[in-house]
Amino acid sequence: MNQGWTERQRPPRLERRLEFADYETTRDFLDRAALVSERLGIYPDMSFGRTYVNITLHAQDDATEVGEPSRHFAREIDILLETEKTLDE
Amino acid sequence: MNQGWTERQRPPRLERRLEFADYETTRDFLDRAALVSERLGIYPDMSFGRTYVNITLHAQDDATEVGEPSRHFAREIDILLETEKTLDE
């Protein structure tokens, strides 16, 4: 998993903050992340503005750690960002 | 403006929380709200999960109140929600 992800406690969660050049790029990322959500059935809390997105993956119910399905989601987001970077180059 | 909007201080802002039946409806709302953002050039802070969206419109810089452009955005969101409701009926 990319080191941009941070494990936090109370409540247990995995977070990543992303910055984008403009609103179009932000929206493009959100659209692609939505496809990942639909494919994996994982719907994290997302917050965004014109040029940023924060992703928060919570542990399920009383779990003390974020589970494997959410970590899978995180890795898919990493791949998606790598692809975007490659396309930009 | 719909009474679902709440004026708050420190910092001055206008907030509204929306609940949706499912992820598809949530995404549909976010897509339509993005078109309003692009049309008006207003990019609020939005947070969402599978079935909710929170919208926060901040006052500009040192203003003590949320300005008219952001209130215009809020009213356009109201219209958009009215349209969705009509379509559902």
Over residues B6-56, the pLDDT tens digits come to 999 999 999 999 999 999 999 999 999 999 999 999 999 999 999 999 999
Contacts of A37 in chain B (CB under 8 A): 23
Give ipTM to 2 decimals.
0.90
B47/A49 touch (CB, cutoff 8 Å), yes or no: no
| Token pair for B61 | 């810089």
Identify which of B50, B20, B46, B38 has the alpha carbon closest to the alpha carbon of residue B76: B38
Domains of chain A, start order: 6-88 (3.30.1360.20)
**Distance of residue B53 Cα from the nearest chain A Cα, in angstroms:** 9
**Distance of residue B44 Cα from the nearest chain A Cα, in angstroms:** 6
A38 vs A68: CA distance, rounded Å: 17
pLDDT in tens, chain A (89 residues): 889 999 999 999 999 999 999 999 999 999 999 999 999 999 999 999 999 999 999 998 889 999 999 999 999 999 999 987 655 54
Please, where are the H alpha helices in B1-89?
Answer: 23-40, 68-88
A43/B30 touch (CB, cutoff 8 Å), yes or no: no
